[in-house]
Amino acid sequence: MKLPIIAVLSISILSLSSCGGAKTTTTEPVEDVQLEKPRNTALEWSAASSDALYLHRQLFGLAKDRLEGIINSGKMNQAVFIDASFLLLPQATTYQFFEVYRDPSDGFRPQELFEFARYEFDATAMEFLRYCFENGIEILLTSSEMDSRIILEQLMKQNISVQGSIIDGEARYGRYSNNITLSEYAQQDRLALLLTTSLGEATAYTGMGNPKSVEVDEIYKRFGSKVILFPNPTFNRK
């Protein structure tokens, strides 16, 4: 019958020793740990590799070849939609803008990038725009007049007419660009080409949303003659 007593005494001794031996805790300043900024591997590759500039030139060349076939077929009232206005600007300057001046994840307006490029256009892109204009192909940027006003004005000074537009949505009276939609042109069989940097943005035409890797081949088979996908230095952030 001594075991319960010994157990009680042992517990009491442990409790007293823990109380008596407790040290006063001091509050140390907590060091503020800065989280490492996620890498944008697409931007790193674009800025460091000449392949990105080569692809940009080649894809505009491909777009011109596709248009030539459409023009020779006799199709009338055709239009080219350009999803990202920075495709029209010097690409080396574009990469520098995203590296130094503005992180893509923070968002940006096309006019900011155009001002950074000192109101210059990419030579290959301009050659393509002139080809469209001279052959009666309508040119539309998928951005509003407000977002791309300076770009549109500078192109107008070079005798190239370009309009703003939206990808999809309801008409908004008093805003011309909001009454021009990619989906409407596609339904009317007036979409000659869509130059885009994201297949997700081509949904109004493909109806497939942002495709998984297994669906890309299907998109290419069904829509590859009209959708041309450019590298995008603002994507693939890790």
CB 84 within 8 A of CB 140: no
pLDDT at 69: 94
Q: Catalogue all structural domains in the chain, each as residue range(s) with its CATH number.
A: 39-229 (3.40.50.1000)
Secondary element (H or E) of residue 91: helix 91-96
At 43 the pLDDT is 72
**Which residues are CB-contacts of 86 (< 8 A; sequence separation ≥ 6)?**
94, 110, 113
What would the pLDDT profile of 99-150 be if each residue is shown by its tens digit? 777 776 677 777 888 888 888 999 999 999 999 999 999 999 887 767 778 8
Q: How confident is the model at residue 203 (pLDDT cuts 50, 70, 90)?
A: low
Residue spans of beta strands (DSSP E) within the chain: 79-82, 138-141, 163-164, 191-196, 227-229
Residue 154 structure tokens:
């500078």
- Kindly give, in sequence order, each residue whose CB lies less than 8 Å from that of residue 146, ignoring residues fewer than 6 positions away: none
Q: What is the dihedral of CA 108, 110, 112, 115, to 10 degrees?
A: 160
| Across 194-219, average pLDDT | 69
* 3-state SS string for 190-218: CEEEEEECCHHHHHHHHCCCCCCHHHHHH
Please give the single-letter amino acid code of residue 165: S
Cα–Cα distance, 232 to 95 (Å, whole number) = 10
* Start-to-end Cα distance in the chain: 68
Specify the higher pLDDT residue, 194 or 208. 194
Reduce the DSSP state of residue 101 to 3 states and report it.
Answer: helix
What integer pLDDT is reported at residue 9 of this predicted model? Answer: 33
pLDDT of 237 > 50? The answer is no
Give the tens place of pLDDT for each residue, 157-193.
Answer: 999 988 877 665 555 544 554 567 788 888 889 999 9
Greatest Cα pair distance in the chain: 109
Cβ burial, residue 136 (10 Å; 0-12/13-18/19+):
exposed
CB 175 within 8 A of CB 196: no
Q: What is the pLDDT of residue 12?
A: 38
pLDDT for the residue 16: 38
User: Amino acid letter at 123?
Assistant: A
Of the candidates 231, 236, 234, the one whose C-alpha atom is nearest the C-alpha of residue 59 is 231
**Cβ contacts of 109 within 8 Å, gap of 6 or more:** 147
Q: How far is 199 from 216, CA to CA, in rounded Å?
A: 9
- Residue 138 is predicted with a pLDDT of 94
Q: How far apart are CA 197 and CA 52, in angstroms?
A: 13
Determine the pLDDT at residue 136: 94
Residue 187's identity, in one-letter code, is Q
